[in-house]
Amino acid sequence: MRIVNEAKALIKENIRDYGMFIALFVIMITFNVLTNGMFMSSRNISNLLDSAGYIAVLAVGMTLVIVIRHIDLSVGYIAGFLGAVAAILLMQQGWSVFLVIPVILLLGMVIGLFNGLLIAQLGIPAFVATLAGMLIFRGALLQVTAGTGTIIVQNTFFNAIGNGFIPSVMEINSLHLTTLLIGLITILFFVYGEIKTRIDRIKYTFEVVSVPIFVLKLVFISFIIGYITYILAGYNGFSWTVIIVLVVTMIYHFITSKTVLGRQIYAVGSNPEAAHLSGINVKKVTYMVMGSMSMLAALSGIMYTARLQSATTTAGMLFELDAIAAAYVGGVSSAGGVGKVTGAIIGAIVMASLTNGMNLMGVGISYQYMIRGGVLAGAVIFDVITRKRGK
């Protein structure tokens, strides 16, 4: 009984964090039932995650942009434009893929720093500055693809970013071995990390949850990681897209939750004037966040081009809005200072699940838009209400 009460209190206290997971869970189960198990099949889940990848990395960057009370409308066409530049460098200039990728990422960062210059240095509202960028890069995309139209990319290594899977050494019972190993290592790391944190907290005589709850949490999350790994291992294993998204998430999660820079970002978002008076360089933080945003847009462009195996004239269209939607579903607040990158990933998966599930069910595109709009509004309403009630 005590355990149940403790669990209840824990959920109530963290309803905002758990809410999204619960929503995702419900959506997945519902679709699985409605599609007779098709939704949760290995092949479909693998597909779903791959289709969410290029939006997910944008959503991570967008979360931080919104946290510092700005917005970036230019990321869609930056992704489209830089994806096309990557295709040109690869196919028409004959550059090596190992040179193209860092150059494109660097270009993205430079563009972002320019956005930062407009916003932080010149004080232009982010909405306007990046709206201008959106128009400029849309034009730039059309310009570079004007002569050729769609540019087909024939480079197996590059295309693997969007379509390939990590190699498997061997298969056990037709399961992908490397994937299983990575899954297992992730679980071990997770369990080790949790136990270490717990021991640390006990050393500092801080409050910790009771042992049964702790074990329950470990088992539950390990099970989920294990199950996803198992599902993916049944198809082709982890795709490179999933690996990229995981790495990006881990890096950003670490930066935002464990470093001084992360603290400064949230401080600037929460109250820029107080941040300035606390000795935090608000301009520098703005530059970094905008720079990272466009670098992720470059990454998104690479992932999208690789996925289509070509650069098209309309690539990047509306990416920015999908990313913003994912960030909001993931719990970011436009009032500033609140929002997590892990939330953005869940948000991106929620939105991709909706599209994917409704496609499987054959729901018309008109209804799809309305339902996705409804979910976005619902998520924000939930967020606002729980925030009011919270501590």
Residues that bind other proteins (CB under 8 A): 13, 200-201, 203-204, 206, 258-264, 266-267, 270-271, 273-281, 333, 335-338, 389-391
- Residue 276 Cβ vs other proteins, minimum distance, rounded to whole Å: 5
Q: Which is nearer to other proteins, 183 or 337 (CB)?
A: 337
Using the minimum distance from each CB to other proteins, give the nearer residue, 13 or 171.
Answer: 13
In contact, 323 and 55? CB cutoff 8 Å = yes
Closest separation in Å from C-beta 282 to other proteins: 10
* Shorter beta-carbon distance to other proteins: residue 167 or 203: 203
The Cα 131–Cα 137 span in angstroms is 10
Residues sharing a CB contact under 8 Å with residue 54, sequence separation 6 or more, in sequence order: 79, 162, 241, 300, 301, 303, 304, 307, 319
Task: Report the residue number, 102 or 273, with the smaller CB distance to other proteins.
Answer: 273
- The stretches of 145-210 forming alpha helices (DSSP H) are 156-163, 177-203
In sign, the C-alpha dihedral spanning 272, 335, 105, 316 is negative
Contacts of 176 (CB under 8 A, 6+ apart): 165, 168, 232, 233, 234, 235, 236, 237, 238
Q: How far is the CB of 366 from other proteins (least distance, A)?
A: 38
Q: Which is nearer to other proteins, 98 or 204 (CB)?
A: 204
Cβ–Cβ under 8 Å, residues 119 and 286: yes
Residue 204: exposure state from Cβ atoms within 10 A (0-12, 13-18, ≥19): exposed
Q: Closest distance between other proteins and the C-beta of residue 353, in Å?
A: 29
Note whether 271 and 123 are within 8 A (CB): no
Distance between CA atoms of residues 267 and 278, nearest Å = 9
Could you tell me the smallest distance in angstroms from the CB atom of residue 317 to other proteins?
34
**C-beta of 69: minimal distance to other proteins in Å?**
11
Nearest-approach distance from CB 129 to other proteins, in angstroms:
21
CB nearer to other proteins: give 174 or 205. 205
CA distance 14 to 269: 22
Residue with smaller CB distance to other proteins, 172 or 261: 261
* Beta carbon of residue 344, minimum distance to other proteins (angstroms, whole number): 18
Tokens of 363: 């729901």
Can you say whether the dihedral through the CA atoms of 55, 60, 66, 72 is positive or negative? negative
Of 170 and 277, the one with the shorter C-beta distance to other proteins is 277
